[in-house]
Structure 1
């Protein structure tokens, strides 16, 4: 008789990963739970939030009667995720640490630990996502190291795995998985891919997992927690005072402590002004932040962006894009925003221009443009440059203002 398949499940101390582990047990697999500690932080009461999550994850393993391991990747997290986060802010971009964490920590460090140290046949997480493989096919995958090249040999991975959106479109988390390697994806199970969040909570309630049901959804950046973002980031980056300048008439409206504290589209709290103003452009040379007076000001809307080299999940790059140099698909750059129809244009270095069918509010350098086609997540690229705003185009020329160009008007990024 064949020994039970061994699946190592990442446990966060929350309800989703707990139910994922439970469902794997029900399928008859030998399951091991692993809690990752990636950040040393204390909440406002001096309690380490990771310790509480770790206890909750351990209790899940006791209830399910499965082995429990705790690993610490604080150093790797600092080097691969947090340093990138600070570096992006210093460049005036707005990073997405969740996407980077999945790429480097969960689907590289954890994946290799599970396979190499714990002898896993497959790994699992509580993400709401699916792949094109059935469980049995996942267990048949061999460990293939993919060659690193700009355009990999198309025939080198047979049966490449697709990343597919979850059944619960509101909870779908493929956005956060859009930089995961094919190597890890082909050995990963997503037990919640076909379920709704409500059903997952029901399963938890019926299986003595009440302690994870009470917990609030984790939102926001894990290492910032409930602290003021400005106070947090100024612990690591030097203040760089600059001015708030009206995009319309160039008048100075106030001052700030650093252009990196602001992201495009956000409300700028300018002292002494009752009306809300919104960040529309930033100038790294002078540190000035350009603002506009309305949440729907045309300076906030753009229909063109350029990414860095795109990480394609299945096919690098998709055959249609190579053949035609252009491809229609959809994209989003924030989790849960509506998908935007677009046309991709492939550049020789593997980067793409993305032209949205209609102008999009607050496209943000540093965020990832994640591409979709017919329920499949194709991959993603980091937004590095923006085309001109609708306001700039309406004017037909840039109004005279300080000599340098903002990120939207030229290759300053």
Structure 2
């Protein structure tokens, strides 16, 4: 059905093995390397020159063509400027989610299909869909569901949670059924030694070797403020800007023996309120908020048709704390907003660590689920109420 596949090749082991598997399966695969940051600007450093060399090495070893494309303007407008705005308003954004939604699975996707003539794209993400790793179950009359991969420790579906249905329907995830160790073993056995032991990329790509706080100062005005102990009301230190800190983060104060952790950031006064230790009750919050959610597969008609914003209609979903290993059963109710989510970025503090709560529909909303082939154990319960376009979460 699909012959020409554009493989988003990063210079890492995952995309290298994805390319290998596509070629083994008989597809006409070609590597496409993206450059999203202008390395000529000295404040930023990106390792993409080294990565491009590795991508070239892989394509030569596999004897497949390699293209290089540029989305510097798109990345600046759709990802970086949004990143700055959210930092300025006291939030801690996730650039990977933005990049996947607007660059890899939009600009890149459209370019590969419309300008390069490919049928579909493929990536080295640890994810799967209901159409299968190679779209072997593709059905033009059905919507596609985002599924978890075999390797749950490397699961990247959270970062794909905002990808649109149109792009997801024509994307392959060749390593969906492999563990990370198996991916590295395949690379070694095929002689892809330059990437077989290469470390996984972490952090924000364009910051590279730079310290984040130093880098971000080039773009956001530094407004100093005070660290205030919420119990004593005393000023215990100073900080160099709200954008450098996030709720739940540890912040050392030399005069204080036990570590402080951030409880709240005050945009009006530019002060940060802190608590002592990891077990302070202020760090255990039973409410969290999210913006407009995004349904990956389709809207839940059970909620929308019943005008659930006024009639307290309930539906079941699952919530997962990213720093935890177990999922929790949740219940939702809310308004008839046009956007909802199977996987939404929600941040809350737990034992002084910021955790992302991932939401996806459970079996009671089967048409909208982001599922796993393995049954997970439920620990704890949450109740969610959607008010307008805001999701409020409270434990019960």
TM-score by length of 1: 0.79
State the partner residue of 2:193.
Answer: 210
2:312 aligned with 1:329: no
Question: Measured at CA, do residues 105 and 30 of structure 1 come closer, stay the same or move farther in structure 2, by a change above 3 Å?
Answer: same
Q: Could you tell me which runs of 5 or more consecutive residues in structure 1 were left unpaired when the two chains were aligned.
A: 142-157, 391-413
Match of 1:377 among 370, 385, 392: 370
Question: Measured at CA, do residues 346 and 377 of structure 1 come closer, stay the same or move farther in structure 2, by a change above 3 Å?
Answer: same
2:73 aligned with 1:80: no
Match of 2:184 among 174, 198, 201: 201
- Cα deviation for residue 96 of structure 1 reads 0.3
Match of 2:283 among 300, 310, 335: 300
Question: Measured at CA, do residues 236 and 138 of structure 1 come closer, stay the same or move farther in structure 2, by a change above 3 Å?
Answer: farther
State the partner residue of 2:90.
Answer: 92
Cα distance between partner residues in 2 of 1:97 and 1:252 = 33
- Cα deviation for residue 161 of structure 1 reads 0.3
Cα distance between partner residues in 1 of 2:79 and 2:325 = 24
- Cα deviation for residue 348 of structure 1 reads 3.1
2:179 aligned with 1:181: no
Q: Compare 104-113 and 312-321 and name the one that shifted more.
A: 312-321
Written as runs of structure 1 = structure 2, the 5 A alignment for 1:7-406 is 7-41=5-39, 49-134=47-132, 135=134, 141=140, 158-317=141-300, 319=302, 323=306, 325-332=313-320, 334=322, 338-350=326-338, 360-361=350-351, 369-371=358-360, 373=362, 376-377=369-370
Q: Compare 254-263 and 329-338 and name the one that shifted more.
A: 329-338
Partner of 2:287, secondary structure, is strand
Question: Measured at CA, do residues 387 and 361 of structure 1 come closer, stay the same or move farther in structure 2, by a change above 3 Å?
Answer: farther
- Cα deviation for residue 322 of structure 1 reads 5.5
Q: Compare 105-114 and 226-235 and name the one that shifted more.
A: 226-235
Cα distance between partner residues in 1 of 2:255 and 2:38 = 38
Partner of 2:291, secondary structure, is strand
- Cα deviation for residue 279 of structure 1 reads 0.1
Aligned residue pair count: 364
Taking only aligned residues, the RMSD between alpha carbons, in angstroms, comes to 3.2
- Cα deviation for residue 74 of structure 1 reads 1.2
Question: Measured at CA, do residues 47 and 282 of structure 1 come closer, stay the same or move farther in structure 2, by a change above 3 Å?
Answer: closer
Deviations 1:214-257 (A, max 9, x none): 31111112122232222111111111111111111211111111
Partner of 1:84, secondary structure, is helix
Contact 1:43 1:225 in 2 (8 A): no
